[in-house]
Amino acid sequence: MSDVAIGIHDVTKRFGRTVAVKNATLEISQGEFFSLLGPSGSGKTTLLRIIAGLEAPDGGRVTIAGKDVTDLPPYARGVGMVFQDFLLFPHMTVAENIQFPLRMQHANRATRDERLAWIVKLLRIDGLEGRFPHQLSGGQQQRVALARGLISRPALLLLDEPLANLDRELRKEMEVEVRRYQRELGIPFVYVTHNQEEALTMSDRIAVMRAGGFEQVAPKLDVYIAPATAFVASFVGHANRLRGNLRDGMLDWKGHRLALPKIEGATDGDAIDYFIKCEHLTIAPAGTSVGANLNRVDGTIRDIIFKGQVADHLVVLGDGTEIVVSEAASLPRVKAGDAVSITWAPDAGRSFRALDT
């Protein structure tokens, strides 16, 4: 398969007794925006540093464009990288920072200037070339770091939580732009983040990592709609977790009998985690009759948290349990204190055998 840009084969990395990456195998295609998503300590940054050559794996191989690079030092791999905190060279101007990779490749002056003109235009940082990094705003530093990563037209670009230190507005803007550059340049981006929204906004495919291993590697919609494990279901999207026991093919959750998708191999009495995303729940005035095929629980609205187009409705059930329902914010029918019913289609949720937590 010539389409494979990066191959990771059975890669393992230990730090002392901790296993940071454990038997990871993965292929990333040419032109793909690929995200490594996971909480801190899940091994995503270590895996990225292994691809860059900044860490040597204890076992396994790494290939870039079909060539085995496992034993190559970082400077011989020809990758671009955007670091967390940007890590611009403080003693170099913007232009010198951006041209650094070309200088290392002994590119001549004409090429360097031509490429610089191209990249500053692409990233809309023209006019800043003579400044020093500390004279730039966070967003400008971010663009310079991106420009440095891209100027040599590398075979791939690695990004290590590059947006983590930007404020929310700027992050939203950059998410869209990073995605646009990836489309325009057509090279694979490998993007490490702990922020699921970032991963969902930008990626083609996502690998969800936990404790050094992959929980799920799939196109982003699959990860969102069809999480493969309970961990993915709880980490991606905003979901309510209902933990109960299987009884006659139904979920017995705090006295409610709820329909749920079938679980392979589960038998009566097993502990079950049922995840239902907040936006798949619907609020209806109490006592509204619902279709027999829908699940329904009753409660009282405690608060409504406005979030723009949607609002999170916090509903307290009779026993004090809280359920979050995302509904259109313009919904005027309910207010805090109202008695309501929550309904949903059982198939909208995913059920797993309970994790030990």
Q: Where are the alpha helices (DSSP H) in 166-299?
A: 168-185, 196-202, 220-225, 230-235
Smallest separation, CB 40 to another protein (Å): 18
Which of 103-111, 167-175, 176-184, 312-320 is the region at the interface with another protein (rule: CB under 8 A)?
Answer: 103-111
| Number of shown-chain residues binding another protein (CB under 8 A) | 31
71 vs 303 by CB, closer to another protein = 71
Structure tokens that stand for 213 in this block = 């291993």
Binding mask 148-167 for another protein (x = CB under 8 A): x---x-----x---------
Based on the number of CB atoms within 10 Å of its own CB, is 356 exposed (0-12), middle (13-18) or buried (19 or more)? exposed
* Crossing angle for the helix pair 138-150 and 168-185, to the nearest 10 degrees: 20
Query: If binding is defined by CB under 8 A, does position 100 make contact with another protein?
Result: yes
Footprint (CB under 8 A) of another protein, residues 194-213: none
Which of 9-17, 100-108, 285-293, 319-327 is the region at the interface with another protein (rule: CB under 8 A)?
Answer: 100-108
Which of 71-79, 205-213, 224-232, 267-275 is the region at the interface with another protein (rule: CB under 8 A)?
Answer: 71-79
Footprint (CB under 8 A) of another protein, residues 73-92: 73-81, 83, 87, 89-92
In the set 7, 38, 43, 53, which binds another protein (CB under 8 A)? 53
CA atoms within 13 A on the CB side of 287: 2
59 vs 213 by CB, closer to another protein = 59
Contact 187, 156 (CB under 8 A): yes
88 vs 223 by CB, closer to another protein = 88
Smallest separation, CB 272 to another protein (Å): 45
Looking at residue 12, what DSSP letter applies? Answer: E
Footprint (CB under 8 A) of another protein, residues 176-195: none
Footprint (CB under 8 A) of another protein, residues 118-137: 132-134
Q: Which uninterrupted H or E stretch holds 241?
A: strand 239-247
Task: Report the distance separating Cα 183 and Cα 202, nearest Å.
Answer: 10
Task: Report the distance separating Cα 204 and Cα 6, nearest Å.
Answer: 15
Task: List the helix and strand counts (H, then E) for the chain.
Answer: 8, 20
Task: Report the distance separating Cα 242 and Cα 31, nearest Å.
Answer: 39
Smallest Cα–Cα separation from 246: which of 128, 152, 353, 357?
Answer: 353
118 vs 132 by CB, closer to another protein = 132
Q: Spell out a b/e string for 253-270, using b for 16 or more CB atoms within 10 Å of the CB, else e.
A: beebebbbeeeeeeeeee
Smallest separation, CB 53 to another protein (Å): 7
Q: Helix, strand, or coil here: 4?
A: strand
Query: If binding is defined by CB under 8 A, does position 224 make contact with another protein?
Result: no
Query: If binding is defined by CB under 8 A, does position 143 make contact with another protein?
Result: no
In the set 21, 52, 209, 272, which binds another protein (CB under 8 A)? 52
100 vs 224 by CB, closer to another protein = 100
Three-class SS string for 120-153? HHHCCCCCCCCCCHHHCCHHHHHHHHHHHHHCCC
Residues in Cβ contact with 59 at an 8 Å cutoff, skipping those fewer than 6 apart: 10, 11, 12
Smallest separation, CB 291 to another protein (Å): 57
* Total residue length of the chain: 357
75 vs 306 by CB, closer to another protein = 75
103 vs 238 by CB, closer to another protein = 103
Smallest separation, CB 76 to another protein (Å): 8
Which of 102-110, 206-214, 220-228, 272-280 is the region at the interface with another protein (rule: CB under 8 A)?
Answer: 102-110
Residues at the site binding another protein, with contacts judged by CB under 8 A? 52-54, 56, 71, 73-81, 83, 87, 89-92, 100-101, 103-105, 132-134, 148, 152, 158
